Amino acid sequence: MKIVVVGGTGLIGSRVVTWLGEQGHEAVVAAPSRGVNTLTGEGLAEALAGASVVVDVANSPSFEPAAVLEFFETSTHNLLAAEEAAGVGHHVALSIVGIDRTPDNGYFRAKIAQEALIEKSSIPFTIVRATQFFEFTRGIADASAEGDTVRLPHAFYQPIAAEEVAAAVTRAAVAAPANGRVEVAGPEAVRMDEFVRDALAGWNDPRQVVGDPHGTYFGSEVGERALLPGAGATIGRISFRDWLDRTAAGESR
Q: What is the pLDDT of residue 1?
A: 96
pLDDT tens digits, one per residue of 57-103: 999 988 899 999 999 999 999 999 999 999 999 999 999 999 999 88
Q: Distance between CA 61 and CA 110 in Å, rounded?
A: 13
pLDDT tens digits, one per residue of 176-228: 999 999 999 999 999 999 999 988 998 899 999 999 988 888 888 899 999 99
Q: In what order do the strands lie in the sheet with 125-130?
A: 26-30, 2-6, 53-56, 90-96, 125-130, 180-185, 234-235
Total tally of structural domains belonging to the chain: 1
Residue 201 one-letter amino acid: A
Look up the domain containing 20 and give its range.
Answer: 2-252
pLDDT tens digits, one per residue of 102-129: 888 999 999 999 999 999 999 999 999 9
Q: Distance between CA 215 and CA 35 in Å, rounded?
A: 41
66 CB neighbour count, 10 Å cutoff:
10
Beta bridge partners of 30: 6
Q: What is the pLDDT of residue 247?
A: 67
Residues 144-171, mean pLDDT to the nearest whole number = 95
Q: What is the pLDDT of residue 215?
A: 86
Cβ 62 vs Cβ 11: under 8 Å: no
User: Which CATH number covers residue 206?
Assistant: 3.40.50.720
